[in-house]
Amino acid sequence: MHPSILCNLGGMSQPAYEREPYRQEFVSTLQRTGTEKNRPFAVLADTIFYPEGGGQPADRGAINGIAVTDVQKREGEIRHYLAAPMEAGVAELKLDWNRRFDHMQQHTGQHLLTAVAQDRFSLATTAFHLGESTCDIEVDSASVDLGVMEELEEAVAAEIRAARPVSIRYVKPEEMESAHVRTRGLPEGFTGDVRLVEIRGIDINTCGGTHLSSTSEIEMVKLLGKESIRGGTRLFFVAGGRARRRLSAHEVRNSELRSLLGVADADFAGTVRGRLEEIRQLSRSVRSLEEELIALRVESLLSSPNLLQISEFEQRDGAFLQKLGRSYSERAPEDRVLFATSVAEDSVFFVLALGKGSKREGTRLVKEVAPLLGGRGGGSGLVFQGKGILASGVEQARKLLADLLGSAG
């Protein structure tokens, strides 16, 4: 018996999404309505909407024009969660076909990828996830070489070109072993016939998902990368239309990068590495210049006899002012106070720095100043900082500080 994924089986009579996976519209009847966690839902006599399960997301679409936001199996029934409550009567279902066909491509692609990976490369799949943009399988190997991934992708491509038929059939549980089914076993308490998905000559798998009728409809499977996980390896992939859309997006980005960098595609990485090194060197130079500027500004401030010392900047951020405040506090006499501000775009940053050994209540000063700048502030020790939106309040804040320090002195 071959190990593999056990997808959603159900154990119920065949719903329309299993019987006719290509059906895009359907008419059913409402059996009951309800609410679950403030979400209205409808249970129908039959449905073309696939409920989430086996690694495959739920379908979307509409019932009588009401958006279907989710589909789940709950307590032996299929619940269609709706954007608004549904009234009794006939239910006209319209499937989001683009989403469904995408899921069929990804899921059938996964079956083929899993079968080829195990049979030709001894990589058994232990989990499958169909995501919004990418899919992945987990294989029971601690590492997978890039060369093996390339060979695996080529082998899968050959089976897609072979246009192998994909079919559905049902067997009794006791018939599974003789049918050479790839499965990890049936759920505990399962009864009824087992649904098998067969890719002729390649794979027979237990699965309740929606699938294509031929491997040719997969179009392509592209392996995107890998990562180690739980002692195994996760292989990321996309199939069909996702692969084409991904390629289109890459080409759009490449075109923009060619224009921005002025180099050919093959030179992108080298050019970007060079630019990043230039940025790192420039950042180091900027930090060095900032330190020199802070040292000079503090030296200039300390030469002034004023109790309240003012320093203003433009386009400097709060981090710069904090460095200035710390440097000032380390050297200034205890009776001095620095009020530094910087207007940057729509914000005004400020810092209040007290001289070394100061007994002044910096928190009180910040609470008085911050509202005038339309913001808030805080801090502890000798350095307090904040941010506001009213650059027009800077002069008023200075006058208030001068008054407060004058009365305190």
Place of tokens 């003789």: 178
pLDDT for 337: 94
pLDDT for 8: 40
Over the chain (409 residues), the average pLDDT of each successive run of 10 is 36 81 96 94 96 93 97 94 92 97 97 96 94 95 96 98 96 81 74 89 92 97 96 97 96 95 94 96 95 95 92 93 95 94 91 92 91 91 93 92 76
Specify the amino acid at residue 28.
S
- Tell me how crowded residue 212 is: count the other CB atoms within 10 A of its CB: 24
pLDDT for 9: 37
The CATH 3.30.980.10 domain(s) of the chain lie at 100-248
pLDDT for 56: 92
Specify the amino acid at residue 302.
L
The CATH 3.10.310.40 domain(s) of the chain lie at 300-408
Reply yes or no on domain 16-97 having CATH 3.40.50.2300: no
Place of tokens 């900082």: 385
pLDDT for 1: 29
pLDDT 10s digits, 28-48:
999 999 999 999 999 999 999
**Residue 6: both structure tokens together:** 């056990």
pLDDT for 156: 98
Q: Dihedrals φ, ψ of 193, to 5°? A: -75, 155
CATH number assigned to the domain with residue range 300-408, chosen from the 4 options 3.40.50.300, 3.10.310.40, 3.30.750.210, 3.40.50.1370? 3.10.310.40
Contact (Cβ atoms closer than 8 angstroms) between residue 351 and residue 384:
yes
pLDDT for 235: 98
**Residue 7: both structure tokens together:** 């997808």
State the fold for domain 100-248.
Threonyl-tRNA Synthetase; Chain A, domain 2 (3.30.980)
The CATH 2.40.30.130 domain(s) of the chain lie at 16-97
pTM, two decimals, is: 0.75
What is d(CA 222, CA 112) in angstroms, rounded to the nearest whole number? 12
Residue 369: left if φ>0, alpha if ψ -120 to 50, beta else—which one? alpha
Please, which contacts does 35-42 make with residues 24 or more away whose CB atoms are closer than 8 Å?
A: 36/74, 36/79, 36/81, 39/69, 39/70, 39/81, 39/82, 40/81, 40/82, 40/84, 40/85, 40/86, 41/79, 41/80, 41/81, 41/82, 42/79, 42/80, 42/82, 42/86, 42/91
